[in-house]
Structure formats: C-alpha cells, structure tokens
Structure 1
Amino acid sequence: MAFMLFFGYAAEIIGLSAIVGAFLAGIILNRSRHYEALEEKTYGLELIFMPIFFISLGMLVDVNALGVFFVPILVITAIAMVTKIIGCGAAALGAKLSFNESLIVGVGMMPRAEVALIIAAIGLSKGMLSAAEYSVISAMALLTAFIAPPLLVRLLEKSGKDKIS
C-alpha cells in the first residue's frame, strides 16, 4: 500500500495525476514475486474504496448546472455516442466484422463512465474545468452508461445472438 501511495505522490510531484502513479505501481507489482500474497491480502478492498471514490466524484456535481445545461448535455451525449459508435465500429469493420457486428462493438464501447469521470475530476481539481463543465461531463458519462446496455441488448436480440462470441 505504501508503494502505491509513494508512486501516486511522486506522480503528483512531477505534474501527473496520482492515479497514473498508482497505476504504474500496480503494473510493477504485477511482475513482483510477492504478487499472489499481495493480491490475497488486498482482495476485496476495491469493494470498499470504489464506492467511496465514486461517491466523492458524485458530490462534485453541481446539480443546478444539470438543469441549466440540459440541452448541451444532450448534444454532448449524442456526439459522444455517435463518435464512439463510428470510431469503434470502423475499427471492427477493418477487422473484417460484419456491419451488424461492428455496430454491436460500437454500441458496446459507447459507455464513457469511469474514465471520463476520473479525467474530469482531475481537470476540476487542477482548475482546468469549472464545476458546471465537470457536471456536464459527468451527466454525459452517466447517460452513456445507462443508454448503452439496453441498446446493446436490442442489437444482440435483433442479430439473433444472446452474447458476443
């Protein structure tokens, strides 16, 4: 744990986010001979820390901004969805998947929740985003996370598949 905290702190000192340092520490620990013992001792910690982390991100949302920026939220969400479907769908087409399979891949990759929230929170903490901008990004992330699963189920049912093989 101290190793991860040190890497997080070191990353902050050199101008990166603590999560970058902590992630690097995880990569290093993955190659360690102590990996299995460490994994056993820390198993389940994410069940405690992840909800706390995401609660703290939710507390940063300016609820008033959600009403004021309702239309921009919808526009940004639509753009985020379309660009993810096109980008990932095009890559899937390039990998010789059918159009329908490529559409399924694009919709499956559509949610932007965790990474978008983390990057937006970093931007907010560094003064690069306002509370309103953070709130708009958070709303987009949440909307894409809620919209994608039913769309994906519908596309899979329409294609005759119950899962992606």
Structure 2
Amino acid sequence: MIDISTLEQYFPQVNKPLIFGEYTFTILFRQEEDTFLINLKIKQRDTKKSHLIGFRFGIGKDKKQKDASHETDKPHSEIDIYKREKESFSATVYFTFHDSEDKTIFEYAKGTIVLIDKIIKQFIKNEKLDAIIIKKIIYDEAVLDELAQFEPALIDALYDCYKNSNLIVREGNNRVV
C-alpha cells in the first residue's frame, strides 16, 4: 500500500476548508491500512439566487462496497461535477486502474497533485478570483518543479481506462455507461 503522507507537503493546509468569497476549497488526504484518498473539493456557497458549482477530483482506493457503481476496492480516479443553473446536473466519472502496483499508483497520485494544481489555477482564472489565493491552497511552484513529470503517466492511464472501457459514468444516482 502506498503512503500518501509525503504528498501533503505540497499543500499549506489539508483536511480543512479554505473559504475565499463564495467558494470553499478543501484538499482531503485520508489514509488507512489498505485505503487512501487524495481529493480536491470546490464548493460554491448556495445563495439560492445564482448558479451553484460543486466539483471534486482525486485518486483513491476504498474498501469493497456492495452495490457500488465502480470497483471501490481498486485504485481509481474520480471526477464529480454538480452544476445548477435553471436546472441541476450532476455526473461522476470513475476511472479504474488495473495496473495497481504500488509504485505505479504512487506515480498516479503525484500526477493527480499536478492536475489538482492546474484545476485550481484554471478555476480561479475562470471565476475571476484573486490569483494570490493559489499559494494559500497549493504550493504551485514546488508542484511544477518536483511533480510535473508524473502528469503524462496519469493522463495516459486515464486514456487507457477510457479506451479499454475501465470507465464508469454516473449521472445523478443512475449509472450511465
């Protein structure tokens, strides 16, 4: 089993929400004997007046769960999107990795940190938030200097999951693919 604790150094604060205006950013790290989780969660405060955004991206491995739409006990990446404008939409995409050697999964976890960095920066840019908050969420320069080389392996693995149908999409509570 991989030890993800060494990856916490790329974040000023983990497992605590960081609130900037109407958005809450949370970097989650959780590790147990045979499970792990690294997640970025972005949630918009619900004012009931405007659109609402909820987003989660990460990598993890959980205990086997009965009736789950994906293989929870295998390492996987997950993207969860919720958006409400006039109508609401939610979807979750699971990419299951079957090449689950610890060394490979740890490299995917490092690549996940790079994608989290890119997602944070793109989100802040798109929502016109002050770029100064990036360094309050993630140590951007250290991530790019030390982990950028692991992103291509993760992207290739996600593509292989898609190509080999190791991908599950769930819209709302319904399994789609």
TM-score (norm 1): 0.32
TM-score (norm 2): 0.30
Q: Which has the higher helix share?
A: 1
Q: Which has the higher strand share?
A: 2
